[in-house]
Amino acid sequence: EDGMEHSKVEADFYIDKPPTPEFIPNPTGVDKETQLEEYDLFDYDLEVEPMLEVIVGKTLEQARMEVIEDYEKKELDKHVEEYQLVREAELMEVQRLEAARVRRELEEKRRTKQQVTSKSQKSLGHKKVVSRLLAKKFLRSMKPTTLKILEDQGILRNPRDQAFQGDFVQYM
């Protein structure tokens, strides 16, 4: 068989022990009882439904207010953007008008200066013409030989002749 002898194996003597009782401490204080009837407890459906309606109503109202605020914020942002575009366009128009005014002023100053210059040149030209006419009139009244006489006397000399004679005479 399994190689053990049955005569040498003994069974242990086992006595069943009763289960340990649960510990219950001695009560302190006085026990009281309350009797509840079926109608003493609240009816869940009847009493919770109004509270749920209030909570759901408040939640929906708050969500509705948030949606309205978001819509108003988007509209306000849209109006601000439109205002900025109009403002920038007006600013560009003001800058363009200011630049045109500055160009007109510069052109006006340039033309005024040009007119003054033109008048002074005309006046100078007129003075030259008058001076020439007076000189010719004066010279007509002089004898034709007066210049020749002054040259012969040495009062009027040609500057080239003087330089030539001065250089030439020194070397001789």
pLDDT value at position 150? 76
DSSP for residue 144: T
CB 151 within 8 A of CB 157: yes
The number of residues making up the chain comes to: 172
* End-to-end alpha carbon distance in the chain: 175
Reported as half-sphere exposure (CB side, CA atoms, 13 A), residue 147 has a value of: 7
Q: What is the pLDDT of residue 166?
A: 56
What's at 73, amino acid-wise?
A: K
Contacts of 150 (CB under 8 A, 6+ apart): 156
Distance from C-alpha of 120 to C-alpha of 142, rounded to nearest angstrom: 33
- In a structure prediction context, what are the per-residue pLDDT tens digits for the chain, which is 172 residues long? 455 555 666 666 667 788 888 888 888 888 888 888 877 777 778 888 899 999 999 999 999 999 999 999 999 999 999 999 999 999 999 999 999 999 999 999 999 999 999 999 999 999 999 999 888 887 777 766 777 777 778 777 766 666 666 555 555 5
**One-letter amino acid for residue 163 of the chain:** A
CB atoms within 10 A of CB 147: 13
pTM reported for the whole predicted model: 0.39
Please state, in angstroms and rounded to a whole number, the distance separating the CA atoms of residues 51 and 60. Answer: 14
CB 138 within 8 A of CB 144: no
